[in-house]
Homo-oligomer: A and B are copies of this chain.
């Protein structure tokens, strides 16, 4: 007898649908497939997808957020320095991995897809900002001086993402540490 945890079927459907989206994005690009294509590939009914996600944009945002939250969870090491180094190392590792550039290109495709993609993109950015803000607020609550979310985006995410997207390696742990060193050397921005 196979014991299944509650929600097992639901989790399997979700995984199959996410996998289908990822494959279709890689094969055709965003905007070139429908909910029906996703459902067919995942082996589920169209109505299951609509009921759970509403539409393709919501589904795509869910795929991106899930991937990022799993591969680059926002750390809680007890110090801002530790959190930022762990976070930066994760960002670098994932951007350098097989799925990283594909996910970045997906977000870019959403941003370029006009209104249809705008909501998914907003949702993704808002959720990611919320996760980072939690980490920075924890640091402030401990009495540490912390940068803004925009600083983390500009000084850690942006250099890593641009190197990944433009194929300007190497993406190494050393790069992650250098970026954090530079950011922490200039808290609050600008010359101090």
Contact = CB atoms under 8 A, between A and B. Distances in A.
Interface of A: 29, 101, 105, 107-108, 111-112, 118, 121, 125, 153-155, 157-159, 161-163, 165-168, 178-179, 181-182, 184-186, 189-192
A169 to B, nearest CB: 11
Contacts of A165: 107-108, 111, 165
Nearest to A167: B111
Nearest to A29: B29
Given A105-B108, A186-B185, A125 B166 contact: yes
B185 A181 contact: no
Contact of A190 (B155, B158, B166, B182): B182
